[in-house]
Amino acid sequence: MMRQYELVERVRRYNPHADEELLDRAYVYAMKAHGAQRRASGDPFYSHPLEVAAILTDLKLDDATIVAAVLHDVIEDTDSTREEIERIFGPDIARLVEGLTKLKRLDLVSKRAVQAENFRKLLLAIAADVRVLLVKLADRLHNMRTLRFMPPEKQARIAEETLEIYAPLAGRMGMQSMRDELEELAFQHLMPEAAATIKTRLDELRKKNGKIIASVEKELRDELSMRGIEASVEGRQKLPYSIWRKMERKSIAFEQLSDIFGFRVCVNKVEDCYRVIGVVHTKWPSVPGRFKDYISTPKENDYRSIHTTVVGPGRQRVELQVRTHDMHDVARYGIAAHSLYKDGRVADREILTRESRAYQWLQRTIDLLAEGDSPEEFLEHTKLELFPDQVFCFTPKGQLIALPRGATPIDFAYAVHTDVGNSAVGAKINGRIAPLGSELQNGDEVEIVRAEGQVPPAVWEKLVATGKARAAIRRATRDAVRTQYTNLGKQIVMRAFERAGKPFAEDKLKAALPRLARLGIDEVLAAVGRGEIYSGDVVKAVYPDFSEDRKGVAQPSRPEEGWFGLPKAESLVFKFPGRTSESAPLPIHGLQGDLPVRFAPNGGAVPGDRIVGILTPGEGITIYPIQSPDLTAFDDQPERWLDVRWDLEAGHQGFFPARILVTAINEPGTLGMIATVIGDMGANIDNITIHVISPDFREMIIDLEIADLKHLNGVVSELRTKPVVSKVERVNG
């Protein structure tokens, strides 16, 4: 257990001018505040903040951060207040402790919406002062080191949260040493067998290759010394979690890994880095495609090094990282290595923003909070940004754009500017026309072809790898849908005014906005287009003396009649003869015997859907699409779930049940137009149920017979192009 005098000594090693009296005062205050409180390990509670502070001394942080670490639990877990801490320790330390108290209350492994909102709060808290994040990461690291004392269910929750949020966040801030330890500890708790197996294999490999590693180190060191290059050479080994992640990502076995061992060369000056590369590539042949220069083009987390792979002694592939000692400090400690955190100095945000790419990323991420995205979208965007395996591309003018691995020209366009992405219609990669879904490679020059008035299609969301692009596409899609509803609503409103015999004027509608409880004309029109406001109510708002009790105006011509002149009812059912029976045999894979098979009653399933079978004793198997909400009824009956999949012959001509929900304008000819579209697309109507949802709109639930998912999507897309159709969506359950 860390002692107070040991903590003071650790601080004085890197800061001889440390305020020892301040550190002692913080220790005494924390010890008295926590009193007899104990941790799950049985240690006094105040031992934890001391250990957290000790971790931060490895980062050589200022006195205020060390004191904040010692005090970080007192507001949450004792009777201490922010006011009392400010009075005793000053406003800077009080602000840090309060920020840490807010973070401690966040639960990042919870229901998605709650998790997302809490993550927003976390980033907002650390945006004000990044030292809050440094203390929080150290706090999490010590908790992970002592996680074995917690109940098993808490161990899994905390380890998952660490692997999903805190370790990547440490990496994004360039703090690779802390990220590595967090990942390894979480890996051991979440997948103990995998971690133990890989560790055993590594130990065996180290014993086998130990002499080779030592000989390569010596040969490298001697070769550089002969050329007058002062350098330290150190062999390194990949960590178990890093190995497991690569095996999972590339679907390869342990024996197929060629980069388990590598070597790090640290020199004094940047020019020496390139001299080392010259020596190494002269002595040993390099492996094509394995040279990366992160010195001239640093990573987004400030990481700088040169990576290369050569065929070294004994025909062994040898990976090398070459960097200066200063770069090595940044690679280990990231943003905490910045000089503005040293010697009691407080970071200046403007200088930090200018000098640290990691801090720039944090500020850009915080700026997204003002974009109006939902918490869930913000969380998704940030998680995408937390795992950057980068490629570097260029604009035609030479501007460097860093993107994650798997990025496309669409990502590139949005990285340049949101307007460029929204107006993109094509791309040229290295001077050649290429699909917008092409995966970009390092060094590609990308030119975006633009067109005014272009709206990014929603399908682009599946083609992008960056959160920024995904968020922008969703915003543009929402705006386009809103515009569509606004235009549709305007047509409906103008027809309503025409039927009423009243002139339509936007200035009069603007004056009537308070009566419609809307802030703008577009809001009214969009609400009419969505069916939220009845068009007759808009006429009444503009002309209060208007009455709808007139023959032929805003109501059916005879009270007993409804839409299309049919008898008025809450819902009308039309039954059409089908071409296939619900009990028709369905070829499925993995089942024994001759059990009867049928489709889910509410929406069916079509080839192309991921499906699951539910076994009902005495009745057979019911096939559901995996997204069907009806499956929740079987959550507590896992014995009834069967793994099934489509097993159809090529060229199969059968039809399968699917259900769609169509919202359409209430006017003559609508049903005929919808039925014609479905017939022209080669689908069959099995059943229609019509509901009255407002005087202007009707809702139709249509059961179809469809060949496959592509066929269904084609029917839906064609229906959406018709002016009488407001909305079409598939229904499952």
Boundary-marking domain end, from 192, 224, 248: 192
Exposed, middle or buried: residue 715 (CB in 10 Å: 0-12, 13-18, 19+)?
A: buried
Instruction: Give the count of beta carbons closer than 10 Å to the beta carbon of residue 40.
Output: 13
> What confidence category does residue 374 fall into, taking pLDDT thresholds of 50, 70 and 90?
low
482 pLDDT exceeds 90?
A: no
Do 233 and 300 lie in one domain? The reply is: yes
Query: How do residues 633-644 score in pLDDT, each as one tens digit?
Result: 888 776 677 777
The percent of residues above 70 in pLDDT, for the chain, comes to 80
Least confident of 142-151, 252-261, 353-362: 353-362
Q: What is the pLDDT of residues 437-465, one digit of tens each?
A: 899 987 789 999 998 878 888 889 888 98
Digit-coded pLDDT (tens) for 601-617: 888 888 888 888 887 75
Residue 582 — very low, low, confident or very high, per pLDDT cuts 50/70/90?
Answer: very low
User: Does residue 145 belong to any structural domain of this protein?
Assistant: yes
CATH code for position 113? 1.10.3210.10
* Res 574: pLDDT: 33
More confident residue, 203 or 111: 203
* pLDDT tens column, 680-728: 999 999 899 999 888 888 899 999 999 888 899 999 999 988 888 989 9
pLDDT surpasses 90 at 501 = no
CA 163 vs CA 116, 125, 168, 646: distances in Å: 16, 21, 7, 36
Place of tokens 């059961």: 703
Distance CA 558, CA 565 (A): 9
Bridging pattern class, strands 261-267 and 317-324 = parallel
Residue 185: what pLDDT?
Answer: 95
Q: Are residues 526 and 675 in the same domain?
A: no
pLDDT attached to residue 552: 39
Looking at the structure, do residues 706 and 586 belong to the same domain, yes or no? Answer: yes
Is 343 a domain residue? no
Q: Which residue has the tokens 């009707």?
A: 698
Q: Give the other-Cβ count within 10 Å of 23's Cβ.
A: 20
Going by C-alpha positions, the residue among 247, 162, 167, 254 that lies closest to residue 203 is 254
The pLDDT tens digits of the residues spanning 133-179 come to: 888 899 999 999 999 988 888 898 889 888 877 888 888 888 888 99
**Which of 78-82, 265-269, 383-387, 648-652 is predicted with the least confidence, judged by mean pLDDT?**
383-387
The answer to whether position 462 is within a domain reads no
Gap between the Cα atoms of 269 and 271, Å rounded: 6
Say which CATH number the domain at 442 has.
3.10.20.30
Q: According to the per-residue pLDDT averaged within each range, which of 176-190, 339-353, 590-604 is highest?
A: 176-190
Asked if pLDDT for residue 588 goes beyond 80, the answer is no
pLDDT at 13 over 80: yes
- The count of structural domains within the chain is 5
Structure tokens at 285: 């042949």
Q: Which of 175, 192, 209 is the last residue of a domain?
A: 192
Average pLDDT (331-349) is 62
Residue 604 DSSP one-character state: B
Give the C-alpha separation, 607 to 498, whole Å: 47
> Please, what is the average pLDDT of the chain?
80
Full domain range(s) for residue 397: 389-457
| Residue 564 falls inside a structural domain | no
Least confident of 113-127, 206-220, 354-368, 446-460: 113-127
What CATH number is associated with residue 301?
3.30.460.10
Residue that is written with structure tokens 């002499």 in the block:
211
Residue 352 located in a structural domain: no
In DSSP notation, 405-450 reads TT--HHHHHHHH-HHHHHTEEEEEETTEEE-TTPPP-TT-BEEEEE
Residue 585 has pLDDT above 50, yes or no: no
Is 252 part of any domain?
yes
Q: Are residues 635 and 726 in the same domain?
A: yes
pLDDT at 7 over 70: yes
Catalytic residues: 76-77
Q: 350: pLDDT confidence band, cut at 50, 70 and 90?
A: low
pLDDT at residue 353, as a whole number? 54
Mapped onto helix, strand or coil, the DSSP state of residue 529 is helix
Considering the domain architecture, whether residues 713 and 693 belong to the same structural domain is answered as yes
Q: What CA–CA distance (Å, rounded) separates 334 from 328?
A: 9
Q: Tens digits of per-residue pLDDT, 47-67?
A: 999 999 999 998 888 899 999
| Dist CA 521 CA 529 (whole Å) | 12
Q: Which helix (H) or strand (E) holds 254?
A: none
DSSP 165: I
Among 309, 335, 361, give the residue marking a domain's end: 335
From residue 350, how far is each of 75, 96, 338, 359, 490 by CA, in Å?
Answer: 31, 19, 13, 10, 49
Report the pLDDT value the prediction gives residue 379, as an integer from 0 to 100. 57
110 and 42 in one domain?
Answer: yes
Both 226 and 100 in one domain: the answer is no
Report pLDDT digits (tens) over 536-556: 888 888 888 877 654 433 333
Q: Write the CA distances from 56 to 34, 39, 41, 101, 488, integer angstroms.
A: 21, 21, 22, 18, 60
Give the confidence band of 325 by pLDDT, cuts at 50, 70, 90: very high
Tell me, yes or no, whether 630 and 703 share the same domain: yes
Strands (E), 314-387: 317-324
d(CA 5, CA 3): 6
Q: How far apart are CA 624 and CA 232, in angstroms?
A: 62
Is the same domain home to 74 and 215? Answer: no
Question: To the nearest 10°, the Cα dihedral for 82, 84, 87, 93?
Answer: -40
Helices 240-250 and 192-226: angle between axes, nearest 10 degrees: 100
pLDDT grade for 124, boundaries at 50, 70 and 90: low
Does some domain include residue 539? yes
Residues in a beta bridge with 607: 609
Give yes or no: residues 301 and 272 share one domain. yes
* pLDDT at site 655: 85
Res 468: pLDDT: 82
> Which residues neighbour 701 within 8 Å (Cβ) at sequence distance 6 or greater?
659, 660, 661, 688, 689, 690, 691, 731
Q: Do both 121 and 184 map to the same domain? A: yes
Q: Are residues 439 and 532 in the same domain?
A: no
pLDDT of residue 711: 92
Whether pLDDT at 314 is above 80 = no
Q: Quick check: 347 and 64 in contact, CB under 8 A?
A: no
Say if 356 falls within a structural domain.
Answer: no
